[in-house]
Structure 1
């Protein structure tokens, strides 16, 4: 009896060992993709590149770049397996880069493919490259041997200051599938000896339509969402032939949206940005310790922000991109039946949108 039990236990342990063998992952044999790029190639195929860090201490290179042309993302992974002695996996993917030409024709199918892969996290960063994404990923910039990691860290830094939106795979797909807002993503370009953030890409559904410059990114952010950090340099004209510049920092913003029904399917929308911040630099002649002069500067800052915000709104309506999510607030003011019968894409360009800014200077340092 004991002998039979021992045989059964041995067989059971053997089965466990066999199962572990099929699931084992040896780190040195894995090619863990950290950054991937996708570009439009001939015949509507994809040029796909994947950057894999090399962990061999005896290697003279810090990464391996795999590039192929394929009909789909998953087909490219099969091609990569033929080009390396490593097992290519996507569990460490941090950033996906899409070339501008591919973004113009639509990214919906590729987003769907990435979402279906259970090994890819929803927090993967989503970036548009002004140019060829594979070329910038394959380039080595001075002091930055791993371009993918370089771009990733740069995006994290700028997003922390709300100069660009922190767009992940989840956030892009969420807005893409929402009928009341269009998705956005940061744009990066090759500037010779460095990569630079070139602005914010605005999409109509899954297609790139226009760009907001990097300098206006914080203004866009103030009217898109509530912010708890940021800074902006504003030019307020000239005084005695000298440019007047104010550096408004440590921004805290509360955004409110109010929808007015005008009848016959027409709407008026007011967006109010209530901003508090610190003046770290000011080249004008106002004495900020005097309340009246400080209030005058607050109005000047508010007027400048409002003018730029309304300029951006006009451009977005011309390109029919609802990147501020006006449709979400209009939808919330209607019944489900009214919203479905509205055809928001046709109504949005005609909506009367007004931006309002309230500025409060919390402190101005030791400036007198």
Structure 2
């Protein structure tokens, strides 16, 4: 027993030394929360990382690290030469990609981030209309941390379904699925603010077109079910004045019908069953009359269907299947039939019809 106690006593310093090598002191860690990636010259990549400064006595609230390298992981090694902190990625929340890089293709960079076990699958993927590093380095008063400001902006808009909440997992899932293409929100610098610029639509991993910010809710209605949202709809002129309806508290149930017209020919019906509240109506009719409400429902549906038709036409012109039409058609075919089909050639010829049924749940307290 005495010999066993002596052996354990001698091994104790070795165990303590092993713990020392794994020690992580918070004040000595550079916890990257937002990182940006831009295409540099000679197909290199400019990486900028934002590290919060946790020293309460410091007047600076963040430290920016930037370098140009051949890979994301090499950039992290180069960051270690610029700071006295140990740079780690375990707290990464947002990955911002410049538009030039998005046009060249994000597949390899998304894959690199996914391979890092310290990076969560829920990291947001955002496209910057411009240079991502420049917008991350800019100060927007009264916000002390631009990365956190953009993160909160994205969360708020995604909650209203005007933009998709795209994560590394969701982008990679849609990129590797042969029946749908990825999407991501776009942010741009507007001077004293960062603003939502729309929705980026990809063909595989390459940016092809965007949906304007004001039309984001219409895109969402035909891409998936919605449990929240609002839209300002212009219904034309009445007595020389624009008639505007503010349609809020949207609930949407999307259904899809696929009709096979012949070999390689399909018709797809996207049906949006929408319910909502009218918070503002600038027309001259009284909504307490059932006939007026029913006509307004048809007018709102017509505007939504016209917007959807325009968007679908543009998506087919750019050959981006952002609504997942391929998934719906694939589900009606055998494995062999789908594999023998060249979906990129078939998709632009598919007849896609967007239909909307609108129900006004309520129209305010006084009418």
Q: Does TM-score exceed 0.5, indicating one fold?
A: yes
1:5 & 1:46 partners in 2: Cα distance?
A: 57
Quote how far apart the aligned CAs of 1:11 are: 3.2
By how many angstroms is 1:7 displaced?
1.2
Higher alpha-carbon deviation: 68-77 or 51-60: 51-60
Alignment check: 8 A CA contact 1:288 1:367 kept: no
- 2:274 aligns with 275
Q: CA deviation at 1:159?
A: 0.2
Find the residue that maps to 1:349 and give its secondary structure. Answer: helix
State the Cα deviation string for residues 275-310 of structure 1 (Å, max 9, x = none): 000000000122111111100000000000000001
Q: TM-score, normalised by structure 1?
A: 0.99
Aligned to 1:246: 245
Q: Is the 8 A contact 1:286 1:294 kept in 2?
A: no
How far off is 1:80 after superposition?
0.2
Distance 1:145 1:139 in 2: 10
Q: Which runs of 5+ in 2 are unaligned?
A: none
Looking at structure 2, the residues matched to 89 and 7 of structure 1 have their Cα atoms a distance apart, in angstroms, of 40
**TM-aligned CA deviation for residue 264 of structure 1:** 1.8
Which position in structure 2 is the counterpart of 1:160?
Answer: 159
Quote the residue 1:311 is aligned against.
310
Unmatched segments (≥5 aa) in structure 1: none
SS of equivalent to 1:324: coil
| Superposition CA RMSD, Å | 0.7
Displacement of 1:14:
2.8
Q: Does 1:64 align with 2:63?
A: yes
Q: Is the 8 A contact 1:175 1:183 kept in 2?
A: yes
Q: Who is 2:44 aligned against?
A: 45
Alpha-carbon distance in structure 2 between the residues aligned to 1:277 and 1:122: 33
Paired residues for 1:75-154 under 5 Å: 75-154=74-153
In 2, the alpha carbon distance for the partners of 1:209 and 1:367 equals 46
Q: What per-residue deviation string (whole Å, max 9, x for no partner) do you get for residues 99-151 of structure 1?
A: 00000010010011000000000000000000000000000011012100000
Q: Aligned equivalents of 1:203 and 1:32: distance in 2? A: 31
After the TM superposition, which parts of structure 1 deviate over 3 Å for at least 4 consecutive aligned residues? Answer: none
Deviation at 1:16, TM superposition (A): 2.5
Partner SS for 1:249? strand
Question: 2:12 & 2:223 partners in 1: Cα distance?
Answer: 59
The answer as to 2:326 corresponding to 1:327 is: yes
Q: How many Å separate the matches in 1 of 2:338 and 2:12?
A: 61
CA-CA distance at 1:5 after TM superposition: 1.4
Q: Does 2:204 correspond to 1:205?
A: yes
Structure 2 SS opposite 1:122: coil
